[in-house]
Amino acid sequence: MRVAEMNREALEAFAADCKKQYEAFQAQGLKLDMSRGKPSPKQLDLTNGITNCLSEDDYKAENGLDCRNYGCLDGLPEAKAFFAPMLGVKPEDVIVCGNSSLNIMYWAMSLAMTNGVMGSKPWGKYDKVKVLCPVPGYDRHFAVSEFLGMELVNVPMKEDGPDMDIVEKLVAEDDTIKAIWCVPMYSNPGGVVYSDAVVKRFAALKPKAKDFRIFWDNAYCVHHLVDNPPVQANLLEEAKKAGNEDICYMFASTSKITHPGSGIAVIAASQNNLAYLKKALGFSTIGYDKMNQLRHLRFFGGKFENLVEHMKKHKALIAPKFQIVESTLEQELADLDIANWSNPQGGYFISFNQKGCAKRIVSLCKEAGVVLTGAGASFPHGVDPEDENIRISPTFPTEEELQKAMDVFVCAAKLAAAEQALAK
């Protein structure tokens, strides 16, 4: 029965029932964490072979370069070739970096603030600099821009990506808008796959600010949960076709492919952008960890196809967890018609929406020992205007823990709905 159709008596009975269930959970002294998109230990085990896949005398790149020593600023040539298909670009379009794509995104944006893009006026020299933030989105993206003093402007997400009518209008009118954050494949948290039409509209964007950049964080580009994953138009390729190739920086990493703490991040961009980025990079490092690049190459036998196969092992471990979340939500909440949620084809998150109840649900869960990402985290400044969105991260807990956590979650969602209805 839909909660909206319950009369006062039915609502009170429903609330009492939820409350009783909830107190039973509280009594169990649970301690479960679904707060961040972390791979589970079993997923990490898939890559343990990387730790010692290099022998003591295996330190030469294909061109004879000694990977132990300084140098090779933009990455080993074979590492560029290995990662190029991940971003759908040519090897020469790639810089192979250190262990963190967040770090190079921060660097690229901080660099724009101090030195501009491709030699333009530094963004930090303008009175006001704005960045577009598709919401709900990735909290750490928004935090980077906020920390660097940029103004965050919400843009609503639709089912096929950010609302491009709004994006196009805003960037055409306002030259203080210098950037937009995008997670084009299995967006965090909504799981949205940007449609080819959206990718092409991004590629053809004509911002008033000539120093505008799309920060295209393709964090989940190989993180499929289905057998026949969607295929997406490539932004850099489309931008080249549109004569607009300098408009984007594209990022990816192996953080959720190998070991998050010791993976490899990459950046791809036009040759003009890369020339400037490499020059700038030369001031901030003599080179990234080439032994770790070699380690990744050896672990995957130097073939990107092997990485794609490796991702199927991750899928085998995490798809059942997404299934637990989705089926629990479906079984327990669908008939009540109080919430909606994503059923993503990939990525790390399920996005859950229940209007006016997000904070209450997160708080109820916490008091019953289940830690979720903070309500509002997916919005700039942590402010969700509808207080509706919760990001569910199912990968880290075991299936047993996850089921328990979801039992608490749906109980909290029901209780919050009942309280909300009774307060009307």
**Rule CB under 8 A: which residues touch a copy of itself?**
36, 38-39, 41, 44, 47-49, 51-52, 54-59, 66-72, 98-100, 102-103, 106-107, 110-111, 113-115, 122, 124-125, 140, 143-144, 147-149, 255, 259-262, 280, 283-292
First to last CA, the chain: 19
N residues, the chain: 424
Looking at the Cβ atoms of 147 and 385, the one nearer to a copy of itself is 147
Looking at the Cβ atoms of 236 and 281, the one nearer to a copy of itself is 281
Looking at the Cβ atoms of 38 and 201, the one nearer to a copy of itself is 38
Looking at the Cβ atoms of 48 and 343, the one nearer to a copy of itself is 48
Looking at the Cβ atoms of 28 and 103, the one nearer to a copy of itself is 103
Q: Which of 74, 75, 105 is nearest to 293 (CA)?
A: 75
Locus of tokens 């990735």: 138
Minimum distance from residue 340 beta carbon to a copy of itself (Å):
29
Can you state the angle between helices 8-27 and 399-423, rounded to 10 degrees?
150
Looking at the Cβ atoms of 7 and 52, the one nearer to a copy of itself is 52
The string of DSSP letters for 145-176 reads: HHHTTPEEEEEEEETTEE-HHHHHHHHHH-TT
What phi, psi does 40 have (nearest 5°)?
-80, 160
Minimum distance from residue 284 beta carbon to a copy of itself (Å):
4
Minimum distance from residue 133 beta carbon to a copy of itself (Å):
15
Looking at the Cβ atoms of 148 and 242, the one nearer to a copy of itself is 148
Q: Which of 250, 399, 264 is nearest to 322 (CA)?
A: 399
Q: How far apart are CA 113 and CA 126, in angstroms?
A: 9
Looking at the Cβ atoms of 49 and 156, the one nearer to a copy of itself is 49
Query: Rg for the chain (alpha carbons), in Å?
Result: 23
Q: How far apart are CA 190 and CA 348, in angstroms?
A: 10
Please, are residues 117 and 213 in contact by the beta-carbon 8 Å criterion? yes
Minimum distance from residue 163 beta carbon to a copy of itself (Å):
27
Q: How far apart are CA 364 and CA 406, in angstroms?
A: 13
Q: How far apart are CA 84 and CA 96, in angstroms?
A: 10
Inter-residue long-range contacts of 322-331, CB under 8 Å, 24+ positions, other chains counted: 322/225, 322/350, 322/394, 324/394, 324/399, 324/402, 324/403, 324/406, 325/350, 325/392, 325/394, 325/402, 325/406, 326/350, 328/403, 328/406, 328/407, 328/409, 328/410, 329/406, 329/410
Specify the pairing of strand 350-353 against strand 94-96: unpaired
Looking at the Cβ atoms of 144 and 269, the one nearer to a copy of itself is 144
Minimum distance from residue 155 beta carbon to a copy of itself (Å):
21
Minimum distance from residue 33 beta carbon to a copy of itself (Å):
12
Minimum distance from residue 27 beta carbon to a copy of itself (Å):
28
Minimum distance from residue 176 beta carbon to a copy of itself (Å):
17
Minimum distance from residue 139 beta carbon to a copy of itself (Å):
11
